[in-house]
Amino acid sequence: MTRVALIAHDDEKPTMIDLVEEYEAVLSQFDLVATGTTGQRIRTETGLDVERKESGPVGGDTQIGAEVVDGEVDGVVFLQDPMTAQPHEPDIGALVRICDVHDVPLATCRSAGEYVIEGLARDAEEN
Among this protein's residues, is 61 annotated catalytic? yes
Q: What is the dihedral of CA 111, 113, 118, 122, to 10 degrees?
A: 140
| CA dist., res. 57 & res. 87, Å (int) | 9
Q: Does the annotation place 46 within a ligand binding site?
A: no
Q: Is 64 exposed, middle or buried (0-12, 13-18, 19+ CB in 10 A)?
A: buried
Map residue 56 onto helix, strand or coil. helix
Q: Does the annotation place 37 within a ligand binding site?
A: yes
Q: Does the annotation place 56 within a ligand binding site?
A: yes
Q: Does the annotation place 55 within a ligand binding site?
A: yes
Q: Does the annotation place 88 within a ligand binding site?
A: yes
Among the options 18, 61, 70, 91, which is catalytic? Answer: 61
Query: Binding site: which residues?
Result: 9, 13, 35-38, 55-56, 88
Query: Binding site for substrate: which residues?
Result: 9, 13, 35-38, 55-56, 88
Q: Catalytic amino acids?
A: 61
